[in-house]
Structure 1
Amino acid sequence: MLSAALSIGVLLALLGRGAAGTAPQGCDIPPQELTRMLQILERSVAESEVPNPSVLLAFNLAGATGSNARQELLKKIQEDAVNRAQKDMSSGQVALYTLALLSSCRDPQHVESHRLSVNLSRVLDQKTRKEVARLEKDGVPLTTLYSVGLDVLALCLARTGDYEQDAILLAKQLLSPGSQIDVDTQAVMALALECVYDRTKLPDTRDLLQEALEEVSKGFLDKQAEGKGVIGNIYSTSLAMQVLETASKFYAPREWDCAQAFSAVYSHQLQQPMAVAQAVPALVHKPYLDAASLDCSVVTVTIPQLALSPSQATTAQEGPPITVHYTITNNLKGKPFQFSTTVSVPAGSTLLAVLQAAEKADPKDFSFETEATSWGPMVVSIHGLAGSEKDRTFWEFFSGADSLQEGVGTYKPQDGEHIRAVFSTY
């Protein structure tokens, strides 16, 4: 462990502090924790069914460019971009691939794999135009505002497309009276606005973006104070931290208690690879805004290979049985239905195991389907009813009255807990 800590300590020294400047005391991730997080990302490359551009982005921003897993992932990302970008990727997915390639010092306008190529920047701009057109017409994009925020950030960093006009639209969304935009969406939108603010020469545009950035960043400070370090939830906190690290001029003279936020994130011991990938950039003071300005030849780091601790093991040991109550409800589409059951699973089981147990006991009522995503398996259909991007419907999971903040492959119900799956809109 000592050699691992020294390796990461050297990494942190070489990295500097990115766009955020010198980190105040208490705002550095402990070296052992960064080691643990990078190892989770490295293992995820081999274990994941879907190549994750957020993991590649995290490797690059953390300076772990010497990792074999990183090289393998870069190859997969390029291949996947060529094969799927124009066909079945959402604009947000294309944006993440663009950010990942920019951070790898690759030109997104010319991505090659197996003698085929794609202009990813052009594809992103085309998909963003469709998102923006729907947003202007109906007040909602084709997918989500989160995706559009990523789109504008990637276009701005790649210096492609009409990102200034897109940023104006995002700023107006953030400033709209009564808007209820969640923290992670506000964060990616704010990062996009920061990029455009630094690029535009139009005074009126800068004034509008400044107003939106002041509102978002000051709101994050308020939420952190209320959440004792947590901004929204533990997963959105790291994205909000990127904004607070880079937007100090927009919330001055107020100060950010970065040590409190850092402690909240790294004390949570994140395990899910996507959550880790989302946290690493803020924890090493290298936000997404740095993605297009990295020198990929300077820092190379070998991530130490350490034995897994029990908390890092990929296969959980079975505990004594627990009882979980499970209810599915649809009042939105077709004939309404509600079914309830109670299942027994080993303690420490994920919610996915609960759904599998319910389906095994009663496949007629509790059948379900999942799709592999960067956040793990996502339930796309229950009882034959599938969510729809067109209708903006999905299956939302609750513990009692509280919406779950983790996916079915990560969340672990407790004995006696009541899990509800409700067909909902977004």
Structure 2
Amino acid sequence: MSAPWTDHVIWWQVYPLGFVGAEREALPPGDAPHHRLGRLEPWLDYLLELGCSGLALGPVFASGSHGYDTTDFFRIDPRLGDDGDFDRLVEACRSRGIRVLLDGVFNHVGRDFEPFRRAEQGDPEARRWFRWHGKHGEHPEFFEGHDLLVALDHDEPAVQEHVGAVMRHWLGRGADGWRLDAAYQVPHAFWRAVLPGVRAEHPDAWFVGEVIHGDYAAFVTETGLDAVTQYELWKAIWSALNDRNFYELAHAIERHSAMLDTFAPQTFLGNHDVTRIASRLENGEHLGHALAVLMGVGGVPTIYAGDEQAFTGVKEEHEFGDDAVRPPFPDDPAGLAPFGAPTRELHQRLIGVRRRHPWLTRARTAVEHLDNTTLALRSTGPDEAVVVLLSTDDEPRRFPDLPHGETLAEATGTDDPLLLPPHTWRMLRG
């Protein structure tokens, strides 16, 4: 069961290596750390002004290139700084009441990970850390065919002990939880073996696994994690808006609501691995629709840094194909282009609705009206409800009489709260 604070957190996710404009490859051995992690500090008040309350960091540990090829889990990547830089950032977050989530890559490691270097030299103890194949077990297994990402053997007790020690170390230094990268590739038994010892020392920590497909609720139950990434809802939101077919979204919402019986998923419209929502949507007027769904249904919402400024960027399937969605940011918010202000204001309004109704994290959502171009959702809490009305129709559409109260937020005002102008949305008190 998640700690109580997770029912109130709204994450602002940052990919640190891109955010600070770090080099693509690890610094040469012997180079002094580049103290860049502090560049996040001027953005913490911006995070709060947006309405968020947590900083979800991408990889910050020593790695060969993009952060997901870890070489030392106990060391801050020198391209970002050192332990002192991390401690100062955590303290700056703490002083503002901001939670901190770290990104743990525990399915695989980079080729310069010390135990793997020893394994390649024939060390039998180190070889047990990794999976091997070939007639004589001479070839290491790689993550999804990437020969720079070496797969760990999760049945090996030393690997379990190492991962547990890493988690406890950084939670002890002030982190509040872990995003577990590629959790879907790791045997369920591994998480069941590792997490109890970590929770014993840090009972309020939150653990969310990256899971793309499958039975999310069963995954949470069988692993002991608190949550998983809700890719099914993410895909349904933009796909339904682009196709002007709300049946797909309604189906996903019904499945999503059922998950809330077991856990509250991490919900999002964008992250460091996918095309920006502003680039994904074919009609820019529909960004408010997407955000109204994100903030109006159950789950733990996450805003990917830059999405609230209408940043664009398309993920491409080739080397450095993620660069467009992981760009450097200005030194501070004053350096942002003015064109993003309306999108930021939209986020502030809808995040504000969410913060005033924190019960939404655990809310169940029912579909109350549905056709191709209009959808009404009712999310219900212990004592009240929130209704989300969406229209992608080219004509004004009036919804059938639905129980409702005051308007909480809207794209365009009308005298009749159930009447939506073309391509608009509205949130009502239920």
Whether TM-score is above 0.5 comes out as no
Query: Normalization by structure 1: what TM-score?
Result: 0.28
Q: 1 or 2, which has the higher strand percentage?
A: 2
Higher RCO by CA contacts (8 Å cutoff, separation 6 or greater): 1
TM value normalised by structure 2: 0.28
